[in-house]
């Protein structure tokens, strides 16, 4: 769906985006949100919040966004490693 909506990513200065979590594993539930790891060309508050809002509208689900810097701050190594292993780049 993102491939058909590249303008959403371009508008928010997205350099790279990757899916992780239950949707990446193919095991979402009705309560699952959609998790993305996003690298921005311009990591501004407006781009971060705007992308979250835009993707939420596009998918009709709650969206969680994590940045590479945010991934570095995860203190539990097993969680961070699990996210890295589950990444599906688009």
Closest CA to 15 of 24, 6, 23, 28: 6
Report the alpha-carbon distance of residue 40 to residue 29 in Å, rounded. Answer: 28
Name beta bridge partners: 19: 36, 88
Q: Express as a percent the part of the chain with pLDDT over 70.
A: 81
Triad 67, 81, 24: Cα angle to 5° = 70
What is the per-residue pLDDT across 8-39, written as a single tens digit (0 to 9) for each? Answer: 999 999 999 999 889 998 999 999 999 999 99
For the full predicted model, state whether its pTM sits above 0.95: no
Contact 88, 20 (CB under 8 A): yes
Kindly state the greatest CA–CA separation across the chain: 36
């Amino acid at each position: 769906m993102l491939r058909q909506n590249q303008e959403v990513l371009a508008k928010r200065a997205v350099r790279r985006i990757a899916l992780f979590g239950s949707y990446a594993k193919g095991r979402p539930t009705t309560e699952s949100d959609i998790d993305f790891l996003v690298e921005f060309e311009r990591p501004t508050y407006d781009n971060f919040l705007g992308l979250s809002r835009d993707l939420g509208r596009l998918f009709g689900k709650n969206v969680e966004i994590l940045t590479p810097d945010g991934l570095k701050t995860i203190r539990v190594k097993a969680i961070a490693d699990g996210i890295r292993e589950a990444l599906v780049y688009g």
